[in-house]
Structure 1
Amino acid sequence: MHPPRRPRLLTALLLTPLLTGCFASPGDGDGDGGGTADGKDGSRLRVALAFPPAENLSPYGADATILSRLGVTEGLTALDANGAAAPALAASWRRENDRSWLFTLREAQFQDGTRVTPTAVVTALTRAGRAEPAPAALAGVTLTAEADGATAVRITTTAPDPVLPLRLASPGLAVLAPKAYEDQNAVDPVGTATGPFALTEVTGSTAAALDRFDDYWGGRAQASGIDARFIADGTARANALRTGQIDVAEAIPVAQAATLDAGSRRETATTRTTSLFLNTESGVFKDASLRAAARAAVDTTALADGVYEGHADPGAGIYGPAVTWAEAKRIAPVGRVRAGRPDGAPITLATYDNRPELPEVAQVLKQQLEKAGFTVTLEVREYARLESDALAGKFDAFVGARNSLLDTGDPVSLLAGDFTCDGGYNLALLCDKDVDRAVARAQAVADTDRRQDAALAAEARVLGTDAVVPLVHQRVITGVAGTVGGVLLDPYERTLVGTGTRR
């Protein structure tokens, strides 16, 4: 998003492993099948993605996840199946003191044939730190990277950051070859990343071609390449899979799930929550009592059972059931005011159609809000044409689906990016001193259990403002052709295609 975009983003396993500094490589036994042993060329995969590039495939914004899901980019670390930091371009790491970490690199090559060196990593992280807008994972964080000999990088933060290895797993902090940064105004991921597949051609916002990177450190991919299509319409994605035009389709709409053979549907519990964000900065919902009235008007069970046909759970909080520790620790919202009377107050409710359920959710919300006394105008666009206006506060209310652990895997970082005065993905434009203090306290906590408690205390403060109304916690349906194996069904939605994905 391009107006001033304020910088933006599990269990007990999340934080503890970060401090051990001794890890096994994910290249073996990570469930993706590894590379081919016989050296034969596999078939090309045909993949349909729901979101067209919004930022020319910049590695710093929403497009970073596209690059990650297609197996193009990697960072120093990755998230494992339990949501803990695992090795990627860094083979191991250790914490030197409260502000400094030393990462030891593995032997790896960029797709342009140059080696992954400490100097190259420093260049990548330095450029990310200067990016405008800043990558979500760096919301509220300033880091400095410097080479330490021939194989290590020291990363220092201005304030203690106990979850730095988790933060560095963000798709927005991918490491690219020095060649990618030659243009001071843009970063070019074509042929400059480290993943098993290299971008070779991008056709605007409609398609991209990728070839296998045979020198990938994690093993040679089984597929010879990927032909990716960006298809915003969910019905069109399902039809393309059903008619054999594509092999893998992400985000199959609930309404289309029954049209696919049972064997071609994969349902994955995710940390994605669909929420109603209310503009606290201007317009009708600057009044907290009218935000409370909107929240009271919402029936989340009707959304989960009706719109999502049971493929979602009613909204419980910012963190849903997939964040297993949250339910037992959650506390009641703090600071809520009494609901006011809408008296016909006019509001504009916006959402996007890349996730086909969202317009229907918005339509049901429109009816619920009108029943409560609001006058509602509904606006639906493609996400790429909506995001900047949403972040600029041009709507009174916004319905969006957000993976709460996508950017860093850290629940506190989500709150910092989405709900603080300096948050860069702050769709509610919330700036509340009590929220900021609660988030700052949580950011300072290193102990896993105490950090979770602090995160939920901050969540209670956020929910108390009624700036956000959690609607449903989603399960994602991926369409996979019967001839395809090794698709990566990731609750964090960072990966989709790996070395073992094949047809």
Structure 2
Amino acid sequence: MGLAALLTLTGCGLSGGQTGATSTVADRGQRIVVDNFRAPVAGWALESDAAYILSLSGCLETLTKYDQARGKVVPFLATEWKQVSPLRWDFTIREGVTFQDGSPLTAEAVADALSSVLESTVPARAFSPSVVSAVQAADAKTVRVTTPVEDPLVPFRLASVNTGILAPAAYQGATIDPFGHCTGPFVPVSEKAKQSLTLDRNENYWGGDVQLAGAEVRFITNGATRAAQVQTGEADISLSIPASALSSLQNAPGVTVLKADSPRTATLYLNNGRAPFDDVDFRKALRSALDVKALAAGVYEGAALPAAGPFAPSEQWASDKAGSPQQDVAAAKKLLAAAAYTPDRPLEIIAIVERAEFADVATVIQANLKSIGVPVTIKAKEYASAEPDVLAGNYDMILSQRNRLIDIADPIGFLTADYTCKGTYNLSHFCNKEYDAILAKAAQTSGTEERYGLYTRAGEILDSQAVNLWLVNEQATDAVRSNVLSYLQDPLSRYVLTAQTAKSGS
């Protein structure tokens, strides 16, 4: 079965929409403004989410690239690759590529860059010592990746933006410096900390002529502000538009709203590692108390569908047993009694402010849980300030969402990082030996159908344990000014500014 089919969540799949009529003439002197929903929180460390910002800004490039339209991994800074033994993969480096500082792209430079990610204090989820043993230059044109066990997904791992390649000079200081050290079509030239990144055209880009003179990527955490700025023309592209802003934007002159199915589920994460959430009956009681159908129809105004577990029902690895939970207050109260729950303190929901709708979602959940005798308070926080406590287990519940295919374009990344006992992004603090054994087997299974069957079993365990409360399956929604040309929406949040992205003068 082809991967393109496997990643199609509904009829339009993950390919996104595209702007720009072919008859419109691009003005190469134009610059563009992009409103992004998150700022880098760890400087420019590539093992962090900063890599996504450098990638969508047209700076950072990787050895391979996941092409969502074709549903497969394609060449990027590497032209070809092969598995030369069960534990070794060789990648051939593209000739004639120079970094933005003028130094050449070599196998040694690539190996050093990837080794830097491996050696970081908190390695990237898709490319860590647990899945990659070493990276070295096998010869002048070949980079060899060695794995501790056979791994059929190494080319997918090298498409992760966290494995982006920077010039040797980027690693000379105390922190990583991407300025002038990328290979992409845009050169970062200045930044305002936590506010914006300014870029100029790379005049010597290996991939062809760059159509824009430059760009500014702004870090705007408030979704209503992102929507307002694209409507007024202050921004040319605004990413991740909240559902509450869609009606006004869809009727706004000069604005195009693009939607694509996204492997993203709004989730109420529960801290399984502390009381009362360490009791499965308590977690199931919360699930029975929620009215996710009303939530989808109300807060999301029909722009999202009720969730049915950790996967969207149409994903190939979703269980055919899955179904959206039905609100049942009586059953929820019985489960609370079985858990011997006593409301000795209000439980807290953290609603991250990057998602404007989460304030209303939290209020609905608060009312649902009050109906079964579970008192809840709500605190609004930026995700960056909440994450350290959440990862450390110092929280009750947090409303957030995560793209299941963003670390690696296969569920193995999400299922491993988020739910295994040693998962590096295990916000739920869930640990189950049977689940871990299934994921360990899946990681070494080359047959697609068999591997996806293991993902199904893993998802069924998560659902049966009510590890989290999966609320609604969302769409990726971007708003773009009508004079932006050749913008292809990426539901996986990796690419926005490309050499082809253009803007007309009118």
TM-score (structure 1 length as normaliser): 0.89
Structure 1 residues 158-169: aligned runs within 5 Å? 158-169=148-159
Partner of 2:213: 224
* CA distance in structure 2 between the aligned counterparts of 1:13 and 1:44, rounded to whole angstroms: 34
Q: Secondary structure at the match of 1:367?
A: helix
* CA distance in structure 2 between the aligned counterparts of 1:391 and 1:307, rounded to whole angstroms: 28
Letter in 2 for 1:344: P
Partner of 2:10: none
Cα separation, partners in 2 of 1:275 and 1:40, compared to 1, 3 Å = closer
Partner of 1:277: 269
1:173 and 2:163 are equivalent in the alignment: yes
Cα drift, residue 11 of structure 1: 6.0
Cα drift, residue 158 of structure 1: 0.8
Aligned-CA RMSD value = 2.5
Paired residues of 2:266 and 2:472 also in contact (CA < 8 A): yes
Unaligned runs of 5+ in 1: 1-9, 17-29
Task: State percent identity of aligned pairs.
Answer: 33
* CA distance in structure 2 between the aligned counterparts of 1:129 and 1:15, rounded to whole angstroms: 30
Paired residues of 2:18 and 2:258 also in contact (CA < 8 A): no
Paired residues of 2:132 and 2:145 also in contact (CA < 8 A): no
Unaligned runs of 5+ in 2: 8-16, 325-331
Which of 280, 295, 320 matches 2:312?
320
Paired residues of 1:45 and 1:247 also in contact (CA < 8 A): yes
Partner of 2:233: 244
Letter in 1 for 2:98: Q
* CA distance in structure 2 between the aligned counterparts of 1:368 and 1:358, rounded to whole angstroms: 15
Which of 42, 46, 64 matches 1:55?
42
Partner of 1:7: none
Partner of 2:407: 407
1:70 and 2:57 are equivalent in the alignment: yes
1:45 and 2:19 are equivalent in the alignment: no
Structure 1 residues 137-156: aligned runs within 5 Å? 137-138=126-127, 140-156=130-146
Paired residues of 2:200 and 2:214 also in contact (CA < 8 A): yes
Cα drift, residue 447 of structure 1: 0.3
Cα drift, residue 457 of structure 1: 0.8
Q: Secondary structure at the match of 2:414?
A: helix
Letter in 1 for 2:466: D
Structure 1 residues 416-435: Cα deviation after superposition (integer angstroms, max 9, x where no partner):
10001111111101122122
Partner of 2:417: 417
Paired residues of 1:312 and 1:474 also in contact (CA < 8 A): yes
Structure 1 residues 329-408: aligned runs within 5 Å? 339-341=335-337, 342-344=341-343, 346-408=346-408
Letter in 1 for 2:300: Y
Cα drift, residue 446 of structure 1: 1.0
* CA distance in structure 1 between the aligned counterparts of 2:434 and 2:206, rounded to whole angstroms: 47
Structure 1 residues 48-127: aligned runs within 5 Å? 48-81=35-68, 82-107=70-95, 108-127=97-116
Q: Secondary structure at the match of 1:270?
A: strand
1:300 and 2:292 are equivalent in the alignment: yes
Structure 1 residues 120-146: Cα deviation after superposition (integer angstroms, max 9, x where no partner):
010011110011211011353133111
Cα drift, residue 382 of structure 1: 1.3
* CA distance in structure 2 between the aligned counterparts of 1:11 and 1:484, rounded to whole angstroms: 33
Letter in 1 for 2:272: T
Paired residues of 1:61 and 1:136 also in contact (CA < 8 A): no
Partner of 2:489: 489
Structure 1 residues 303-357: Cα deviation after superposition (integer angstroms, max 9, x where no partner):
2111111111111232225x63134656699xxx983334435311112011111
* CA distance in structure 1 between the aligned counterparts of 2:373 and 2:206, rounded to whole angstroms: 60
Cα drift, residue 159 of structure 1: 1.0
Partner of 1:20: none
Which of 236, 260, 264 matches 2:256?
264
Paired residues of 1:11 and 1:324 also in contact (CA < 8 A): no
Q: Which moved more, 1:345-354 or 1:443-452?
A: 345-354
* CA distance in structure 2 between the aligned counterparts of 1:253 and 1:167, rounded to whole angstroms: 30
Cα drift, residue 448 of structure 1: 0.5
* CA distance in structure 2 between the aligned counterparts of 1:426 and 1:58, rounded to whole angstroms: 21
Partner of 1:460: 460
* CA distance in structure 2 between the aligned counterparts of 1:284 and 1:88, rounded to whole angstroms: 48
Letter in 2 for 1:104: T
Partner of 2:11: none
Cα separation, partners in 2 of 1:402 and 1:340, compared to 1, 3 Å = same
Paired residues of 1:331 and 1:457 also in contact (CA < 8 A): no
TM-score (structure 2 length as normaliser): 0.88
Q: Secondary structure at the match of 2:187?
A: strand
Cα drift, residue 283 of structure 1: 2.9
Paired residues of 2:309 and 2:322 also in contact (CA < 8 A): no
Structure 1 residues 235-261: Cα deviation after superposition (integer angstroms, max 9, x where no partner):
111111111111111111111111124
Q: Secondary structure at the match of 2:484?
A: coil
Paired residues of 1:15 and 1:84 also in contact (CA < 8 A): no
Q: Secondary structure at the match of 2:92?
A: strand
* CA distance in structure 2 between the aligned counterparts of 1:14 and 1:77, rounded to whole angstroms: 20
